[in-house]
Amino acid sequence: MLNPEDIIQALNKAAEINFNCPYRQGNIIRLPASGRVIMTGDLHGNEKNFDKIVNFAALDASKENHLVLHELIHDPSEANPHECHSYSLIYKAAQLLIKYPGQVHYILGNHAMAQITSEEVLKAGKPMVKSLNKGMTSTFGLNYLKVFKAFETFILSLPLVVRTANNIWMSHSLPDTTHFSTLDYNIFDTEISVPMLKASPSVRALLWDRKHSNELVNELAKALHIETFIVGHQPQPEGFSRPFDKMIILASEHNLGTILPIDLSHKYSTDELFNAIIKIARL
């Protein structure tokens, strides 16, 4: 059984590491022009895939090896239909951040946002915020509020974006046609808080939007000086897709899940990146 004091200590320490990451500028992680980064899709509690990805990332081999994670919580496949225990994967991620500071970059996603703003979100018809709260309550009992406070502290420490010197952008999603013209770029420099998450339509757009178009993505690429966007958020039965010229979507949560290894010193076309996608099952 997980020790609540161990989890609280790990989450608070990992939050401190997030804020002090040497590559962090505001809410953006800006990676250097050397080394390697592994971009993932949503994992939603899949610890088996998480372990395979961590092993492949080879963080021990070089301090220039990086790993980008997002959307680890909310696993609707758990046996108990009323409880979710995916907080255990958050704990593993926090431990990884502590072990490899400056190499592991956990970015904010809509499910993590929903959990701390108490905005219910369904996955496979299951109310995930309620289910995770129930799972944490049943596990931690009287320590639930202390654990949840540390969980909230950790989530609020997460950056919004990882971008590279070779013009690749990694985030949970992208603003869509509804919000692009009103996007407030101050979100990349404003301290993230629960009130800010609730009040900012631009943060919500970056984490929740799905109605994109090729024209929009091209405009966003021009505005942000980006060659390729790599995101998650949208379900991918085959593990990946390239819906638009400059946009790749990854999913890492199931048996056909994928990841994308990127050489930070190489100038990529989106075609090259798409062809570099790897199936987790083959790792």
With contact defined as beta carbons under 8 Å apart, do 15 and 156 qualify?
Answer: yes
Looking at residue 195, what is its pLDDT?
A: 97
Looking at residue 80, what is its pLDDT?
A: 82
Looking at residue 30, what is its pLDDT?
A: 98
Looking at residue 2, what is its pLDDT?
A: 84
In order along its 283 residues, the chain shows pLDDT tens digits of 789 999 999 999 999 999 999 999 999 999 999 999 999 999 999 999 999 999 999 999 999 999 999 999 999 988 788 899 999 999 999 999 999 999 999 999 999 999 999 999 999 899 999 999 999 999 999 999 999 999 999 999 999 999 999 999 999 999 998 898 899 999 999 999 999 999 999 999 999 999 999 999 999 999 999 999 999 999 999 999 999 999 999 999 999 999 999 999 999 999 999 999 999 999 9
Degrees, nearest 5: CA angle 265-271-275: 85
Specify the pTM.
0.97
With contact defined as beta carbons under 8 Å apart, do 94 and 10 qualify?
Answer: yes
Looking at residue 176, what is its pLDDT?
A: 94
